[in-house]
Amino acid sequence: MKNEPCFALALHGGAGTITRASLTPEMDNAYRQALQQALSVGYQVLQQGGTSLAAVEATVVSLEDCPLFNAGRGSVFNKRGTHEMDAAIMDGKNLGAGAVTGVRNVRNPILLASQVLHHSDHVFLCQQGAEEFARNHGLSFEPDDYFFTQQRYDQWQALRDSDTYMLDHSSEAMDKKFGTVGAVALDLQGNLAAATSTGGMTNKNYNRIGDTPIIGAGTYANNRTCAISCTGHGEYFMRNVVAYDISCLMEYKGLSLSEASALVVHHKLKEQGGEGGLVAVDFNAEVAMPFNSEGMYRASWVSGQEPVVAIYEE
């Protein structure tokens, strides 16, 4: 079947200490439904002959619009009680890339990153400048209310007067979860693309930028190798240039996607204490979704196969 034209999509909704015990059956079900929904949206784009770029964009929009995930609508509160979001998208066909950091009130940061990719001389725009670009290019803005969720607010209230920050939407600061959403795809034309979006860390300070919008760290796509979207403790992913490392291990060392991504996630990152995971797809429609945390919200669908939706370790 390998010679048949095929397409593939994989996505994540964050990684961390997500165990069966920590999710009620209702929450477990709600997450699975949201993952399935986002998967179907992207799969349809690919099935109808759409580009991998359009598929990852549509998938991430679906995840951004769902309040369960820390991106777009469900973004966490920062130190000042507002929402600052990051996103990046990359086209494996020509290495085109667009990224934004610290944007507020933009409904879908991934659509802004996509506009930067298509309509800017630049790759990476920041804060007010990125918002000005968004207004000049007709992106939808939402009031603060749109981004309000009681759970996120309660998390922030528990931390706001401390110097503690939370890596994600856990109710306990020490209970690490890494709130990010992302998608990777291979389309019928053989083009790869990757997209990632995040609302950052609860109570984050100093306008910290994580790996999500960094091309090569949290997001990367290259038709010669693979497309990758990461989620995890961003500082480790940045210092290890994780996404591009996997691409290089394939291109320069001849490793398969699963070998390369397992080496990086289960050895390099793990030895340093760098918790998290990623979703990846290569030019051959091989999918890998390794993580070294207890769980990762994830899903994948390769044409001609059954869709996969999973949360915990197998």
Q: Which residue ranges make up the site for a second copy (CB under 8 A)?
A: 90, 95-97, 101-102, 120-130, 132-133, 205-210, 214-217, 220, 234-235, 238-241, 244-245, 248-249, 252-253, 272
Contact 299, 40 (CB under 8 A): no
Q: Name residue 184's beta-bridge partners.
A: 10, 194
Give CA–CA dist 281/292, Å, rounded: 18
Contact 297, 12 (CB under 8 A): yes
- What's the angle, vertex CA 44, arms to CA 40 and CA 46, rounded to 5? 120
Question: In terms of CB distance, is 42 or 92 closer to a second copy?
Answer: 92
Question: In terms of CB distance, is 23 or 126 closer to a second copy?
Answer: 126
For helices 109-119 and 127-136, give the axis angle rounded to 10 degrees: 80
Contact 115, 137 (CB under 8 A): yes
Question: In terms of CB distance, is 68 or 167 closer to a second copy?
Answer: 167
Distance of closest approach, residue 98 Cβ to a second copy, in angstroms: 10
Distance of closest approach, residue 141 Cβ to a second copy, in angstroms: 16
Distance of closest approach, residue 310 Cβ to a second copy, in angstroms: 30
Distance of closest approach, residue 126 Cβ to a second copy, in angstroms: 4
Question: In terms of CB distance, is 97 or 309 closer to a second copy?
Answer: 97
Question: In terms of CB distance, is 47 or 127 closer to a second copy?
Answer: 127
Any long-range contacts for 264-272 (C-beta under 8 Å, 24+ apart)? Answer: 264/240, 265/290, 265/291, 265/292, 266/290, 266/292, 268/240, 269/232, 269/236, 269/237, 269/240, 269/242, 272/236, 272/240
Label the pairing between strands 124-126 and 96-103.
Answer: parallel
Question: In terms of CB distance, is 204 or 298 closer to a second copy?
Answer: 204
Catalytic residue among 51, 59, 149, 180: 180
Decide if 180 is catalytic.
yes
- HEC per residue, 65-95: HCCCCCCHHHCCCCCCCCCCEEEEEEECCCC
Give CA–CA dist 151/99, Å, rounded: 28
Distance of closest approach, residue 72 Cβ to a second copy, in angstroms: 20
* Contacting residues for 250 by C-beta, under 8 A, at least 6 apart: 225, 226, 256, 257, 260, 282
Distance of closest approach, residue 76 Cβ to a second copy, in angstroms: 16
**Tokens standing for residue 287:** 């999918």
Instruction: List, by residue number, the catalytic residues.
Output: 180
